Amino acid sequence: MDTILVVNAGSSSVKFQVFAADPEQGLQRQIKGQMDGIGSRPKMRAVNGEGNVLVDRKYDVDAVADVTKALAVAGAWLRDELRIEPVAVGHRVVHGGPEFERPVRVDQDVLSRLERYANLAPLHQPFNLAPIQSLLTNAPKVVQVACFDTAFHRTHGDLADHYAIPFQLYREGIRRYGFHGLSYEYIAGALPTAAPKIAQKRVIVAHLGSGASMCALHRGRSVDSTMGFTALDGLAMGTRPGQIDPGVILHLMTEKGMSATDVQNFLYRECGLKGLSGISNDMRELGASDDPHAVFAVEYFVHRIALNAAMLAGALQGLDAFVFTAGIGENSAFIRERIVRKLAWLGASLDEEANAMNAPLVSRPDSKFTIHVLPTDEELMIAQHTLAVLQGGAQKQANERLAS
């Protein structure tokens, strides 16, 4: 049976999943794994589709010093011990820029074009692309597909896409892209089954994790998003500040003597919940702390979500449903309760018992809009896109043979 490997590479971890492509049953998840602690304390753990542990192994630092070596180790384990040879590899790529609006098969030319956007997503793009380059070099015959976090938001209208800057800069690619698109695309596709009554209506989805954003959906399409040109905008995140006056950046450079590189590292790594609390970027730790700075960081996070919810409701001209997803959104009843309380003026009413149980529906019957908790699945979305590209390529070849 053909298998598809999905890779989501970060700076210190590589997540991977293996899906069987069954002609009758569709995609079936076989393996879910992760290599953590790259360059420090490498460890690989993976489970099968039933959740049973397949491997839990530690490695020397030198053996897994970077993302490329991590992929090689995980690939060798899949190939040599499990005899898995994927027909294609699907990759999460955060930034597709103005030219990539759908998943694409990657060759060296496509990779070179994607490298141009590395400075627009420095926490993600270089690490997303490293496994692609490794496979192009070491296994050039393997089909690779790049799936973009920006692509789902290409349905935005001009008013949502533009900044109030000269049009020429927009034509050069300076625009509001939006991110977490693979997550929002999965939620939009899951709503017809999970909550059919609101699937085609006006929905705000809150993707709340270490990276956090919100998206306004109407009829399953992205109307607007809290993120913009880069993944710095919008909500406060684990280590990123979210919305900030550009004058602050100018001040840091002119008055504090910070270079562009200094500012980039500061904004991506030292701000957000970490910067506000001075303790941690982990919401679980902050929520359990009575330190005043930790309490303030949590309150700020909730406050900005409430403000942006009102903005997106304005973009939708109303609101029929609110969906929580991603790590914090799916698992933190405490944060959900705080957010819904802030949205009471819009008519939100929380079922506290259902919320405590992380139930799929956590609103009361008298709520003006329904409130849902829906797990996201970006890896499945990537696998679906990769399979579609594979099938499209096979169909193209068949058409060419018929034409000849």
So which residues are the catalytic ones?
A: 149
Closest CA to 153 of 223, 106, 204: 223
- Reading the block at residue 177, the tokens are 């892209």
φ and ψ at 72, to 5 degrees? -65, -40
- Reading the block at residue 390, the tokens are 């594979």
Helix (H) or strand (E) holding 346: none
The residue behind tokens 């997303």 is 128
The residue behind tokens 């098969």 is 105
- Reading the block at residue 94, the tokens are 């955060």
d(CA 95, CA 114): 8
Start-to-end C-alpha separation, the chain: 30
φ and ψ at 188, to 5 degrees? -60, -35
d(CA 316, CA 64): 47
163: helix, coil or strand?
A: coil
φ and ψ at 26, to 5 degrees? 80, -155
